[in-house]
Structure formats: C-alpha cells, structure tokens
Amino acid sequence: MLKMKPKCETCSTALPHEAEAFICSYECTFCQTCSENTQYICPNCDGELVRRPTRMRGVLDVATTQLKRKILG
Ligand SMILES: [Zn+2]
Ligand SMILES: [Zn+2]
C-alpha cells in the first residue's frame, strides 16, 4: 500500500496530502522543485518520479467500489 510521506526527502518541505508532490516506485517523496532539479529522477534509487495522487482513498473504500463495480457491472 502506498504511504503518504508528509515531507520532501531532499529539502524537508512540508507536503500535505493535497500538495503537489512526486514519488518514485519505492515511495521516495519529493516536492515539485526538487523533482524538477533532478529531471524527475529519484536521487535515492534512480527511479522515475511521477505525480502523487492528491487524495488517496482508503483501502476499504476502494475495495467497496471494486465490489460494487463487480456486482453492478
Ligand atoms: Zn524538496
Ligand atoms: Zn526512490
């Protein structure tokens, strides 16, 4: 499960859930400025940085939606 990290790993800028942030596949988290500085490459693992979803839905919520889709077609 994706964890939401509250700050940039490079400059420690606070990154609340609704803030623009970038993550790699290992969930390293960076602010937009630091991501631009590294050309959207994670400095920790050389992975590609992608935009973090601004609002994560709970696991249960997602499961419920998937189930509803299955039942209702
Ligand atoms: Zn930063
Ligand atoms: Zn990384």
How confident is the model at residue 55, as a pLDDT?
61
- Ligand 1 mean position, distance from CA 15 (Å): 9
Nearest ligand (C-alpha, residue 32):
1
Could you tell me the residue ranges of all domains in the chain?
A: 21-72
- Ligand 1 mean position, distance from CA 56 (Å): 21
Nearest ligand (C-alpha, residue 43):
2
pTM here is: 0.69
- Ligand 2 mean position, distance from CA 44 (Å): 5
Q: What burial letters (b/e) apply to 24-38, b meaning 16+ CB within 10 Å?
A: beeebbbbbebbeee
Question: What type of residue sits at position 71?
Answer: I
When the pLDDT of each residue in the chain is averaged and rounded to a whole number, the result is 87
Per-residue pLDDT tens over the stretch 27-46 = 999 999 999 999 999 999 99
Query: What values do phi and psi take at 61, rounded to 5?
Result: -60, -45
Q: Whose structure tokens read 């889709």?
A: 69
